[in-house]
Structure 1
Protein backbone atom coordinates (compact mmCIF):
# COMPACT_ATOMS: atom_id res chain seq x y z
CA UNK A 1 0.00 0.00 0.00
CA UNK A 2 1.40 3.37 -0.90
CA UNK A 3 1.89 6.09 1.65
CA UNK A 4 -0.10 9.20 0.73
CA UNK A 5 1.24 11.73 3.24
CA UNK A 6 3.17 12.07 6.49
CA UNK A 7 2.83 14.94 8.95
CA UNK A 8 4.83 15.45 12.15
CA UNK A 9 3.28 17.55 14.90
CA UNK A 10 4.78 18.70 18.20
CA UNK A 11 2.29 18.43 21.06
CA UNK A 12 3.36 20.43 24.14
CA UNK A 13 0.72 19.23 26.65
CA UNK A 14 -2.33 16.93 27.05
CA UNK A 15 -4.82 19.64 26.06
CA UNK A 16 -3.08 19.95 22.69
CA UNK A 17 -3.30 16.16 22.24
CA UNK A 18 -7.05 16.35 22.91
CA UNK A 19 -7.38 19.26 20.47
CA UNK A 20 -5.54 17.27 17.78
CA UNK A 21 -8.04 14.47 18.35
CA UNK A 22 -10.93 16.89 17.85
CA UNK A 23 -9.40 18.01 14.54
CA UNK A 24 -9.02 14.39 13.45
CA UNK A 25 -12.55 13.52 14.55
CA UNK A 26 -13.98 16.29 12.39
CA UNK A 27 -12.52 14.76 9.21
CA UNK A 28 -13.03 11.08 9.99
CA UNK A 29 -16.07 9.23 8.76
CA UNK A 30 -17.63 5.81 8.43
CA UNK A 31 -15.09 3.26 7.21
CA UNK A 32 -12.04 5.10 8.53
CA UNK A 33 -9.44 3.18 10.51
CA UNK A 34 -6.93 4.90 12.80
CA UNK A 35 -4.03 2.85 14.21
CA UNK A 36 -2.42 4.30 17.35
CA UNK A 37 1.07 3.32 18.46
CA UNK A 38 2.98 4.65 21.45
CA UNK A 39 4.26 3.63 24.88
CA UNK A 40 2.04 3.36 27.93
CA UNK A 41 0.96 6.82 29.01
CA UNK A 42 1.81 8.40 25.66
CA UNK A 43 -1.66 9.89 25.18
CA UNK A 44 -3.43 7.36 22.95
CA UNK A 45 -6.64 7.49 24.97
CA UNK A 46 -6.45 11.29 25.33
CA UNK A 47 -6.21 11.54 21.54
CA UNK A 48 -9.15 9.14 21.18
CA UNK A 49 -11.26 11.21 23.61
CA UNK A 50 -10.67 14.17 21.31
CA UNK A 51 -11.58 12.09 18.26
CA UNK A 52 -14.82 11.13 20.02
CA UNK A 53 -15.56 14.77 20.76
CA UNK A 54 -14.85 15.73 17.15
CA UNK A 55 -17.17 12.96 15.95
CA UNK A 56 -19.88 13.95 18.42
CA UNK A 57 -20.21 10.55 20.08
CA UNK A 58 -21.59 9.58 23.47
CA UNK A 59 -18.90 9.36 26.11
CA UNK A 60 -17.03 9.10 28.23
CA UNK A 61 -14.33 7.66 26.00
CA UNK A 62 -12.17 5.51 28.26
CA UNK A 63 -9.39 3.03 27.64
CA UNK A 64 -10.82 -0.26 26.34
CA UNK A 65 -8.04 -2.27 28.00
CA UNK A 66 -10.30 -4.56 30.00
CA UNK A 67 -13.09 -4.94 27.44
CA UNK A 68 -10.96 -4.97 24.24
CA UNK A 69 -13.50 -2.84 22.32
CA UNK A 70 -16.04 -0.14 23.20
CA UNK A 71 -18.59 1.35 20.85
CA UNK A 72 -19.65 4.98 21.32
CA UNK A 73 -22.81 5.83 19.35
CA UNK A 74 -23.07 9.15 17.56
CA UNK A 75 -25.16 11.88 19.16
CA UNK A 76 -25.28 13.87 15.90
CA UNK A 77 -26.30 11.25 13.33
CA UNK A 78 -22.76 10.41 12.23
CA UNK A 79 -20.65 7.29 12.44
CA UNK A 80 -20.13 5.65 15.84
CA UNK A 81 -16.64 5.42 17.30
CA UNK A 82 -15.31 1.92 17.98
CA UNK A 83 -12.31 2.15 20.32
CA UNK A 84 -10.22 -1.03 20.33
CA UNK A 85 -7.29 -2.12 22.49
CA UNK A 86 -5.53 -4.63 20.25
CA UNK A 87 -2.64 -5.23 22.66
CA UNK A 88 -3.91 -8.61 23.84
CA UNK A 89 -4.98 -9.75 20.39
CA UNK A 90 -2.58 -12.01 18.53
CA UNK A 91 -3.36 -10.94 14.98
CA UNK A 92 -5.89 -9.35 12.66
CA UNK A 93 -7.94 -12.58 12.61
CA UNK A 94 -8.78 -12.07 16.30
CA UNK A 95 -10.04 -8.57 15.49
CA UNK A 96 -12.32 -10.20 12.92
CA UNK A 97 -13.74 -12.38 15.72
CA UNK A 98 -14.94 -9.20 17.48
CA UNK A 99 -17.38 -8.67 14.58
CA UNK A 100 -16.76 -4.92 14.41
CA UNK A 101 -18.66 -2.90 11.82
CA UNK A 102 -15.66 -1.36 10.06
CA UNK A 103 -17.71 -0.07 7.14
CA UNK A 104 -20.19 2.01 9.18
CA UNK A 105 -17.91 3.06 12.07
CA UNK A 106 -14.76 5.00 12.76
CA UNK A 107 -12.43 2.43 14.29
CA UNK A 108 -9.55 3.64 16.46
CA UNK A 109 -7.24 0.80 17.47
CA UNK A 110 -4.61 1.28 20.16
CA UNK A 111 -1.66 -1.05 19.58
CA UNK A 112 -3.31 -1.80 16.23
CA UNK A 113 -0.27 -2.09 13.93
CA UNK A 114 -1.30 -5.66 13.02
CA UNK A 115 -4.34 -4.18 11.26
CA UNK A 116 -2.21 -2.22 8.77
CA UNK A 117 -3.17 -3.41 5.32
CA UNK A 118 -6.43 -5.01 6.46
CA UNK A 119 -8.39 -2.08 4.99
CA UNK A 120 -8.01 -0.20 1.73
CA UNK A 121 -7.02 2.99 3.58
CA UNK A 122 -5.97 3.86 7.11
CA UNK A 123 -4.22 6.47 9.24
CA UNK A 124 -1.24 5.46 11.33
CA UNK A 125 -0.58 7.69 14.34
CA UNK A 126 2.71 7.17 16.18
CA UNK A 127 3.12 9.01 19.48
CA UNK A 128 6.62 9.51 20.81
CA UNK A 129 7.51 10.95 24.18
CA UNK A 130 10.90 11.82 25.62
CA UNK A 131 12.83 9.23 27.57
CA UNK A 132 15.41 10.28 30.16
CA UNK A 133 16.18 13.67 31.65
CA UNK A 134 14.85 16.96 30.37
CA UNK A 135 17.14 19.43 28.64
CA UNK A 136 16.91 21.87 31.58
CA UNK A 137 18.09 19.21 34.05
CA UNK A 138 14.67 18.73 35.64
CA UNK A 139 13.22 15.30 36.20
CA UNK A 140 11.56 13.63 33.21
CA UNK A 141 7.91 14.56 32.91
CA UNK A 142 8.16 17.87 34.75
CA UNK A 143 8.31 21.40 33.51
CA UNK A 144 11.14 22.23 35.90
CA UNK A 145 8.93 24.70 37.77
CA UNK A 146 6.67 22.43 39.83
CA UNK A 147 7.23 18.76 40.59
CA UNK A 148 3.47 18.12 40.45
CA UNK A 149 3.15 19.51 36.91
CA UNK A 150 3.66 16.35 34.85
CA UNK A 151 3.69 17.64 31.31
CA UNK A 152 5.85 16.05 28.65
CA UNK A 153 5.89 17.16 25.03
CA UNK A 154 5.02 14.54 22.44
CA UNK A 155 5.92 14.17 18.80
CA UNK A 156 3.10 12.80 16.69
CA UNK A 157 3.66 11.33 13.25
CA UNK A 158 0.49 10.86 11.23
CA UNK A 159 0.78 8.85 8.03
CA UNK A 160 -2.09 8.29 5.63
CA UNK A 161 -2.23 5.17 3.49
CA UNK A 162 -4.48 4.34 0.56
CA UNK A 163 -6.90 6.20 -1.68
CA UNK A 164 -8.91 7.76 1.17
CA UNK A 165 -5.92 9.93 1.99
CA UNK A 166 -4.76 10.58 -1.60
CA UNK A 167 -5.64 14.27 -1.30
CA UNK A 168 -3.12 14.70 1.47
CA UNK A 169 -3.15 15.51 5.14
CA UNK A 170 -6.19 15.30 7.37
CA UNK A 171 -6.49 19.01 8.12
Structure 2
Protein backbone atom coordinates (compact mmCIF):
# COMPACT_ATOMS: atom_id res chain seq x y z
CA UNK A 1 0.00 0.00 0.00
CA UNK A 2 1.35 3.43 -0.94
CA UNK A 3 0.45 6.59 0.98
CA UNK A 4 1.32 10.11 -0.13
CA UNK A 5 2.24 12.47 2.71
CA UNK A 6 1.88 16.19 2.14
CA UNK A 7 4.40 17.26 4.77
CA UNK A 8 6.13 16.41 8.04
CA UNK A 9 2.88 16.95 9.96
CA UNK A 10 1.14 14.33 7.82
CA UNK A 11 3.98 11.86 8.50
CA UNK A 12 3.66 12.42 12.24
CA UNK A 13 -0.15 12.12 12.14
CA UNK A 14 0.10 8.82 10.29
CA UNK A 15 2.43 7.59 13.06
CA UNK A 16 -0.17 8.58 15.66
CA UNK A 17 -2.87 6.68 13.77
CA UNK A 18 -0.61 3.67 13.28
CA UNK A 19 0.19 3.56 17.00
CA UNK A 20 -3.48 3.20 17.88
CA UNK A 21 -3.65 -0.12 16.04
CA UNK A 22 -0.34 -1.57 17.27
CA UNK A 23 -0.03 -4.29 19.88
CA UNK A 24 2.82 -5.51 22.06
CA UNK A 25 5.29 -7.45 19.94
CA UNK A 26 4.65 -5.52 16.72
CA UNK A 27 7.80 -4.74 14.76
CA UNK A 28 8.16 -1.91 12.24
CA UNK A 29 11.14 -2.10 9.91
CA UNK A 30 11.87 1.33 8.44
CA UNK A 31 13.88 2.04 5.31
CA UNK A 32 14.55 5.23 3.39
CA UNK A 33 17.13 7.87 2.63
CA UNK A 34 18.41 10.35 5.21
CA UNK A 35 15.69 12.87 5.94
CA UNK A 36 12.90 10.78 4.40
CA UNK A 37 10.85 10.82 7.63
CA UNK A 38 11.72 7.63 9.51
CA UNK A 39 12.30 9.33 12.85
CA UNK A 40 9.31 11.63 12.30
CA UNK A 41 7.07 8.59 11.85
CA UNK A 42 8.46 7.03 15.04
CA UNK A 43 7.84 10.31 16.88
CA UNK A 44 4.20 10.09 15.79
CA UNK A 45 4.02 6.47 16.94
CA UNK A 46 5.40 7.53 20.32
CA UNK A 47 2.84 10.31 20.58
CA UNK A 48 0.08 7.87 19.67
CA UNK A 49 1.27 5.55 22.43
CA UNK A 50 1.11 8.40 24.95
CA UNK A 51 4.86 8.81 25.33
CA UNK A 52 5.70 12.32 26.49
CA UNK A 53 9.50 12.14 26.45
CA UNK A 54 11.11 13.66 23.35
CA UNK A 55 11.76 10.91 20.82
CA UNK A 56 15.10 11.43 19.12
CA UNK A 57 17.02 9.38 16.62
CA UNK A 58 19.23 6.80 18.36
CA UNK A 59 21.90 7.06 15.65
CA UNK A 60 24.75 7.21 18.18
CA UNK A 61 23.17 5.27 21.06
CA UNK A 62 21.70 2.56 18.77
CA UNK A 63 18.68 1.93 21.02
CA UNK A 64 16.33 4.28 22.89
CA UNK A 65 13.74 2.76 25.21
CA UNK A 66 10.54 4.64 26.09
CA UNK A 67 8.50 2.82 28.72
CA UNK A 68 5.90 5.28 30.00
CA UNK A 69 3.25 5.02 27.25
CA UNK A 70 0.37 2.60 26.60
CA UNK A 71 3.08 0.20 25.43
CA UNK A 72 6.86 0.48 25.58
CA UNK A 73 8.53 1.74 22.42
CA UNK A 74 11.95 0.40 21.50
CA UNK A 75 13.49 2.68 18.85
CA UNK A 76 16.60 1.30 17.17
CA UNK A 77 18.82 2.81 14.51
CA UNK A 78 21.26 0.65 12.56
CA UNK A 79 22.70 3.45 10.40
CA UNK A 80 26.19 3.29 11.88
CA UNK A 81 26.44 -0.51 11.70
CA UNK A 82 27.45 -2.98 9.04
CA UNK A 83 25.19 -5.98 8.50
CA UNK A 84 27.72 -8.32 10.12
CA UNK A 85 27.62 -6.24 13.35
CA UNK A 86 23.84 -6.45 13.80
CA UNK A 87 23.57 -10.03 15.17
CA UNK A 88 25.58 -9.00 18.25
CA UNK A 89 22.69 -6.70 19.27
CA UNK A 90 20.37 -9.70 19.79
CA UNK A 91 17.44 -7.73 18.38
CA UNK A 92 15.10 -10.67 18.83
CA UNK A 93 15.12 -10.00 22.58
CA UNK A 94 13.04 -6.91 21.82
CA UNK A 95 10.39 -8.44 19.58
CA UNK A 96 10.22 -11.65 21.60
CA UNK A 97 9.96 -9.72 24.88
CA UNK A 98 12.99 -11.46 26.40
CA UNK A 99 14.43 -9.43 29.29
CA UNK A 100 12.23 -6.45 28.30
CA UNK A 101 8.53 -5.73 28.63
CA UNK A 102 6.88 -6.58 25.29
CA UNK A 103 6.21 -3.43 23.29
CA UNK A 104 6.54 -1.86 19.85
CA UNK A 105 9.90 -2.24 18.10
CA UNK A 106 10.74 0.37 15.45
CA UNK A 107 14.03 -0.20 13.60
CA UNK A 108 15.48 2.46 11.30
CA UNK A 109 17.85 1.37 8.52
CA UNK A 110 16.38 -2.13 8.72
CA UNK A 111 17.96 -3.07 5.39
CA UNK A 112 21.13 -3.66 7.42
CA UNK A 113 19.49 -6.54 9.28
CA UNK A 114 20.74 -9.96 8.14
CA UNK A 115 17.60 -11.55 9.68
CA UNK A 116 14.03 -10.41 10.32
CA UNK A 117 11.28 -11.38 12.73
CA UNK A 118 8.52 -13.76 11.60
CA UNK A 119 5.96 -10.95 11.59
CA UNK A 120 6.54 -7.25 10.84
CA UNK A 121 5.48 -4.15 8.96
CA UNK A 122 7.92 -3.03 6.30
CA UNK A 123 7.79 0.76 5.89
CA UNK A 124 9.71 2.41 3.06
CA UNK A 125 9.79 6.21 2.97
CA UNK A 126 10.89 8.19 -0.06
CA UNK A 127 10.65 11.66 -1.50
CA UNK A 128 7.78 12.28 -3.91
CA UNK A 129 9.08 15.73 -4.89
CA UNK A 130 10.72 18.56 -2.95
CA UNK A 131 7.72 18.88 -0.59
CA UNK A 132 5.91 15.55 -0.43
CA UNK A 133 6.92 12.12 0.70
CA UNK A 134 5.66 8.66 -0.10
CA UNK A 135 5.32 5.80 2.30
CA UNK A 136 4.96 2.23 1.20
CA UNK A 137 3.71 -0.12 3.92
CA UNK A 138 3.85 -3.87 3.43
CA UNK A 139 2.66 -6.24 6.15
CA UNK A 140 4.54 -9.52 6.52
CA UNK A 141 2.51 -12.14 8.41
CA UNK A 142 0.45 -9.42 10.08
CA UNK A 143 -2.60 -7.28 9.28
CA UNK A 144 -2.91 -3.52 8.87
CA UNK A 145 -5.79 -1.68 10.48
CA UNK A 146 -8.54 -0.65 8.04
CA UNK A 147 -8.04 2.96 9.20
CA UNK A 148 -4.42 2.87 7.96
CA UNK A 149 -5.36 1.20 4.70
CA UNK A 150 -7.93 3.88 3.85
CA UNK A 151 -5.93 6.82 5.20
CA UNK A 152 -4.99 9.63 2.84
CA UNK A 153 -2.71 12.41 4.08
Cα pair 1:160 1:169 within 8 Å, conserved: no
In structure 2, the residue matched to 1:10 is 4
- Cα distance change of structure 1 residues 120 and 99 upon mapping to structure 2, 3 Å threshold: closer
Structure 1 stretches of 4+ moved >6 Å:
none
Q: Deviations over 1:128-171 (max 9, x none)?
A: 114xxx6xxxxxx3xxxxxxxxxx10011000001x32x77563
Q: Unaligned 5+ residue runs, structure 1?
A: 1-6, 135-140, 142-151
Secondary structure, counterpart of 1:42 in structure 2: coil
In structure 1, the residue matched to 2:136 is 157
- The number of equivalent residue pairs is 141
- With structure 2 as the length reference, what TM-score do the two structures score? 0.82
Shift of 1:115: 4.0
In structure 2, the residue matched to 1:128 is 126
Shift of 1:83: 0.6
Which is higher, the Rg of structure 1 or of structure 2? 1
Query: How large is the RMSD of aligned CA atoms in angstroms?
Result: 2.2
Bigger shift: residues 85-94 or 103-112 = 85-94
Q: Unaligned 5+ residue runs, structure 2?
A: 149-153
